[in-house]
Amino acid sequence: MAVANLSFAAQVDDWVRETEERMTGVFRQSTSEVISEMQRPVEEGGNMPVDLGFLSSSIQVGVNEEPVSASRSADGQTHAWNPAAADLVIAGAEIGDTIVAAYSAEYAPYVEYGAEGRPPRRFVGLAVAEWQKIVSRVSARLKARVSGW
């Protein structure tokens, strides 16, 4: 997941732009929430199909790195995603960095885009499409927490 050709500063309102600390906080939290939306299971209203959890646990998050290749084969074991690992990486990101979230499960592209008669799940694309709404929501929450707003 990378939102290309957009300046983050242009996507936030004047109040958030007043300090780099606010912008960085909104950037990091918004990214975390997009990734959480990518990971939200179908059973909870999301688009991530979950059987044994291999696909969702194969997510890799990095800062200013190339996406991992989708080359890992499922092993038939039960897996769980730990969002704290992604949040630790995101916590080190600064404005201007590119945060990349990619799935290493070899079948991830087939689930995202559909294959062999199966419809696309679009668990990544639909979450990324919510970026601006998420940024606005995170900004509003930050304003509400600051006295006087």
In a domain, 114, yes or no: yes
Distances from the Cα of 135 to the Cα of 9, 26, 106, 120, 143, angstroms:
11, 7, 31, 26, 12
Q: Which domain holds residue 122?
A: 8-145
Q: Which residues are within 8 A (CB) of 140 and not within 5 positions of it... i.e. 6 or more apart?
A: none
The domain total for the chain is 1
Q: What is the pTM of this model?
A: 0.84
Where helices occur in the chain by DSSP H, the ranges are 8-11, 14-17, 20-39, 54-57, 83-90, 108-113, 125-128, 131-145
In a domain, 127, yes or no: yes
Distance CA 39, CA 54 (A): 12
How many residues can be counted in the chain? 149
Give tens-digit pLDDT for 118-140. 999 999 999 999 999 999 999 99
In a domain, 2, yes or no: no
Give tens-digit pLDDT for 66-101. 999 999 999 999 999 999 999 999 999 999 999 999
Q: Which residues are within 8 A (CB) of 3 and not within 5 positions of it... i.e. 6 or more apart?
A: 128, 131
